Structure 1
């Protein structure tokens, strides 16, 4: 591959946050990203698979950023930008066909490459059933040094992060927006705590706001970082089920908590079990399954 610096990739990604694969396509015609200033927008558009108008904007904004230091910009905002080429970039995510070109993180960066990571997700309308289930699921995983990954959404995600913190574990929140924004509002205090004592991760530059299509995209990072996925509650039509599909595509084990057959929030998890997800009701079962069927040590 041609010469490419972290700074150059950070500038491009700040302007247009595309997956690594698309920027890699661009490198087939450039020796250096600064050559972008002298390439036809039509050619740039073709290699990035974007509209020519957007390519014109990209080139113009890149020229404006050339004299700037992105490292300094993020340092002042207490953000670490980790490019695909960085030594801290998680190897697990490099297996994704649409791996993020840049990750933006706040907190303990060591958690990004923790040897044991498992995702806990569920409904935004999670009931007390999820909270009670997590009392059985989380402590054994923490005792075995698992880092708990979730999406810092309201409902099951929040309960998973809070349970992990309460039982003395470490947790990673994967966001669907940039760090300038806080969403949902009721999780602001939890988010600030995790930014200081745990880890927040996003593929979106700081200015990127909340968009509904960001959340299905961020789900691939949740499942990509984790060696398995636990679902506490989920309705039949739920974004949670999208994440489980991604996890299965990535060859990950999916565990589901069986629920009341009359509960709307358990219909999705019960369906997952019918389709092959592993039913669990305590963390020791998960550890046993991982010992048998995965690379867990």
Structure 2
């Protein structure tokens, strides 16, 4: 993938300051081509980036130490493709976010990103066989209509969603809450390796960034942002799943949810969404009819 000089400078900046694009607005307003990136004084970085003087001094040192590092070539050695926000391959759906990723780091088949319709399928990390059964009815019609499945590679429902898409011959994208030199959960290593070859792994974090408690809520907005609609299988009332749904509602996305037995704690989230106006779903044709034929 060819990058401009401006995009290469962004890779250098993002490596030492991995923040969403809105945190860089003042910098780009002052220096749209980032030509002054290596010459800013620490106090200027404080004003432009809203960081402490201590952090600005460290950032200045890091930038100077790595001023000649060819980040894009180093990433290529690890089969990682960075996609800056200004690149044509960057998804338009993410540009409308309040806080778009400044750079996407990807591994796998980038053509999956160009799939017109992407549906997020999400749910509890403690999802039961009920979620798996639901996906066996939901995913095949999506695959048959060239819809890509988006999820977060977490335990439970996310894993089931990716595996279902692959099993039925479809396409799937995993949005990670860490850099590509790490993997969470480790139990999904084989799935991640499979997806890195034939599907797509995607993250807004440079490869060295480790999974942290705060990185996973951040990635939920990308799952929602990439997707035309969100499907919820099983989820507790307060969970990461419901956080993703909140992002989706903010983005004006359709919410589909699998009705659940009232005896299950993992039905509370979906059933509340139904009460609030989400669309009930029990097979994928309902989603296809809503988004493909009526959309």
Q: Which residue of structure 2 aligns with residue 35 of structure 1?
A: 36
Q: Distance in 1 between matches of 2:276 and 2:216?
A: 24
| Secondary structure of 2:245's aligned partner | helix
C-alpha distance in 2 between matches for 1:24 and 1:158: 36
Contact 2:41–2:60 at 8 Å: present in 1 too? no
Aligned to 2:9: 8
Farther off after superposition, 118-127 or 51-60: 51-60
CA distance in 1, matches of 2:117, 2:135: 18
Residue 66 of structure 1 corresponds to 67
Asked if 2 retains the 8 angstrom alpha-carbon contact of 1:22 and 1:47, the reply is no
Corresponding position of 1:116: 117
1:281 CA drift (Å)? 0.6
Map 1:241-280; keep pairs closer than 5 Å.
Answer: 241-280=242-281
Tell me, yes or no, if the aligned pair for 2:9 and 2:37 is still in contact at 8 Å: no
Which residue in the other structure is 1:186 paired with?
187
Other-structure match for 1:102: 103
* Pair 267,8 (structure 1): closer, same or farther in 2 beyond 3 Å: same
Residue correspondence of structure 1 range 1-297 to structure 2 within 5 A: 5-30=6-31, 32-291=33-292, 294=295
| Aligned-partner Cα distance in 2 for 1:175–1:68 | 25
- Secondary structure, in 3 states, of the residue corresponding to 1:172? strand
User: Where does structure 1 lack aligned partners over 5 or more consecutive residues?
Assistant: none
* Partner SS, residue 98 of structure 1: coil
- Provide the TM-score with structure 1 as the length reference: 0.95
Aligned length, in residue pairs: 292
Over 3 Å counting, the alpha-carbon distance change for 1:223 and 1:102 in structure 2 is same
TM-fit CA distance, 1:27 = 2.1
For 1:249 and 1:293, the matched residues in 2 are separated by 22
Structure 2 contact 38–67 (Cα < 8 Å) conserved: no
How far apart are residue 31 of structure 1 and its match? 5.8
Q: Residue 36 of structure 1 contacts residue 59 of structure 1 at CA under 8 Å; is this kept in 2?
A: no
Partner SS for 1:87: coil
Question: Matches of 1:173 and 1:285 in 2, distance apart?
Answer: 24
CA contact (8 A) 1:4 1:33 kept: no
Deviation by residue 1:161-215 (Cα, 9 ceiling, x = unmatched): 0011010101000000011111101100000000001000000000000101111
Distance 1:101 1:38 in 2: 21
CA displacement at 1:258 relative to structure 2? 0.3
1:276 Cα deviation (Å)?
A: 1.0
Deviations 1:15-69 (A, max 9, x none): 1111112223212223642423332322212221222211111111111121111
Greater Cα shift, 266-275 or 35-44: 35-44
When residues 113 and 51 of structure 1 are mapped into structure 2, their CA distance, relative to the original with a 3 A threshold, is: farther
**For 2:21 and 2:5, how far apart are their aligned partners in 1?**
12
In the aligned structure 2, how far is the partner of 1:26 from the partner of 1:285? 46
The separation in 2 between residues aligned to 1:37 and 1:289, in whole angstroms, is: 51
SS in 1 for 2:15: helix
Whole-Å separation in 2 of the counterparts to 1:53 and 1:33? 22
Instruction: Give the TM-score taking structure 2 as reference length.
Output: 0.96
The worse-fitting range, judged by mean Cα deviation, of 154-163 and 47-56 is 47-56
